[in-house]
Amino acid sequence: MKLTKTEEQLMEVIWDKKEVFMKDIIDEYPDPKPATTTIATLLKRMQNKGFVAYNLMGNSRQYYALVKKGDYFSKHVNGLIKDFFGSSALQFASFFTRQADMTADELESLKKIIDDQIERKKK
């Protein structure tokens, strides 16, 4: 299941804070702050999608993530690779390195990451 951009923005707050109350969520937004009812609606939708849950603390709800950030984005990057690159990570990497306007230093860093992964796979 996918989150909308607005839900992803809210989920970023929850991932960052780990456990968060409504007031803390609203405080994270720039002015003009969203209405409490807007955030409550988003949280309810995200609950229904299985992304967040809450603990009751008196009259307040403390929200927390049910889905890890890495798992969420990994699933969607893999979906992108499947949908646009025929499930070929090699085609994706080729496209990415040509189109991302990376500096030589960034490409060297990427090369080191790849070299490290090659070494891990060989072990």
Per-residue pLDDT of the chain (123 residues; tens, 9 = 90+): 789 999 999 999 999 999 999 999 999 998 999 999 999 999 999 999 999 999 998 999 999 999 999 998 888 888 888 888 887 888 888 888 887 888 888 888 888 888 888 888 888
Q: Looking at residue 78, what is its pLDDT?
A: 81
Tokens of 39: 């955030």
Which string of b and e fits 71-104 if b means at least 16 CB within 10 Å? ebeeeeeeeebeeebeeeeeebeeeeeeeeeeee
CB 85 within 8 A of CB 94: no
What is the dihedral angle through the alpha carbons of 118, 85, 68, 38, rounded to the nearest 10 degrees? Answer: 150
**Domains delineated in the chain:** 5-65 (1.10.10.10), 69-122 (no CATH)
| Cis bond upstream, residue 32 (ω within 30) | yes
**What is the rounded distance in angstroms from the CA atom of residue 53 to the CA atom of residue 64?**
6
